[in-house]
Amino acid sequence: MALLETKGLSVAFGGLWAVNGVDFQMEAGDVVGLIGPNGSGKTTFLNLISGLYRPTKGAILLNGEDISALKPYEIFRKGIGRTYQSSRLCWDLSVIDNVLLGVNNKHEMGFWSNVFRAKKSDAEIFRHLEKALELLDYFNPKLVDKKYELAQNITHIDRRRVELSRILVSEPKVILIDELTAGLNQEETLHIMDDIKKIKSWLPDIGMIIIEHDMNVMQSIPNKIVVFNAGEKIAEGSYSDIIQDEQVISAYLGGAAI
């Protein structure tokens, strides 16, 4: 059974089919690169999977279970976490609070146990705190020292790492990563790609969908690439298959080299 599967997934805005009849499958441990021209529906595809948009047609299955009618918070709790095209941290919160948001729903405490702060919940908060700091340490040890700094005061690449930590701390099954390298320079791109590789080796069973324009990234990281154009999936396969695909070449710059 596939880890994540979409069947004929479609969504229309007005008359525009932003995602149109996409059949997609990935197994545990897959890293799927999602490419396509601007406006081809990549972000919309992630928005559908994370529940922000309701599909007009089609279904989304996680481990065989239909999740297409669930709300975003329920989907996250099922184990699908995501990042955004531009960093979306809570700028007025500290680095560590931003990461802890990823396990916020796992504090199974109501109002009263918060007020009287039961021993058990204290221990749980600390367990999560340790896990969060371990993740930060793992991406960049300097972030551990900045744990109480406001998110607005850290560098762009560190913000990306905080975003990654925020979803990883929840122990997701699938992570959706939208243009992680947007706004990073070349050197930083290399660093953040190392971070992605680290995630892959650390959590070999996690499924990842990575939207990325940088073809070097696409060549080295994913084991499978899916190409979107005008809301439709036009090709799927390994990097070497994809770059020779006629449709893909014509979709990009009307045929110029990728």
Partner 1 sequence: MSKEKTAEKRNSGVPLLTAAMIWLAVFFTLYLNYNLSLPFLAVIVIAILTLEKKGVIESAYTACIKGRKIFLLAMLVGAILLPLALSARPYALHIGVLVCIYAILALGLNFQMGSADMVNFAPAAFFGIGAYTTGILTMNLGISPWFGVIIAAVVTCILGGLVGAPTLRTKGYYLSLVTMALQLIFSLVIVNIKAVGGPNGMAGLPGFAIGSFSLHQAHDFFGIRLPYQANYLYLALLLLAVLLFVAYRVNLSSKGLALNNIGQDEVVARCLGININKEKLFAFCIGGAFCGIAGAFYGHYMSFVGPDDYDFSKSLMIICMVILGGMDNPLGVTVGAFLLIGANEKLRDFADYQMLIYGLILMTALWLRPQGLIPKRVRNYELLFHKKVVLGPNKEKKEAVLPASEE
Ligand X SMILES: Nc1ncnc2c1ncn2[C@@H]1O[C@H](COP(=O)(O)OP(=O)(O)O)[C@@H](O)[C@H]1O
Residue type, 80: I
Among 8, 13, 118, 202, binds partner 1 (CB under 8 A): 202
Q: How far apart are the C-alpha atoms of 228 and 23, rounded to whole Å?
A: 11
Half-sphere exposure of 163 (CA within 13 A, CB side): 27
Instruction: Give bridge partners of residue 224 from the DSSP assignment.
Output: 32
For position 71 contacting partner 1 by CB under 8 A, the verdict is yes
Among 35, 42, 62, 89, binds ligand X (CB under 6 A): 42
Q: How far apart are the C-alpha atoms of 13 and 10, rounded to whole Å?
A: 10
Among 66, 145, 194, 205, binds partner 1 (CB under 8 A): 194
Contacts with partner 1 in 95-124 (CB under 8 A)? 96-97, 100-102, 104-107, 109, 111, 114-117, 122
**How many residues contact Mg ion, by CB under 5 A?**
1
Q: How far apart are the C-alpha atoms of 229 and 37, rounded to whole Å?
A: 7
Shortest Cβ 38–Mg ion spacing (Å): 7
Would you say 173 and 1 are in contact if contact means Cβ atoms under 8 Å apart? no
Contacts with partner 1 in 210-229 (CB under 8 A)? none
In the complex with ligand X, the residue whose CB is nearer, 27 or 236, is 236
Q: Which does 18 bind (CB under 5 to 8 A by kind): Mg ion, ligand X, partner 1, none?
A: ligand X
- Cβ contacts of residue 239 below 8 Å, gap of 6+? 33, 218, 219, 222, 225
Would you say 18 and 231 are in contact if contact means Cβ atoms under 8 Å apart? yes
At 167 the three-state DSSP class reads helix
Interface with partner 1 (CB under 8 A): 50-52, 71-73, 76-77, 81-82, 84, 88, 90-94, 96-97, 100-102, 104-107, 109, 111, 114-117, 122, 125-126, 129-130, 133-134, 137-140, 144, 148, 150, 166-167, 170, 191, 194, 197-198, 201-202
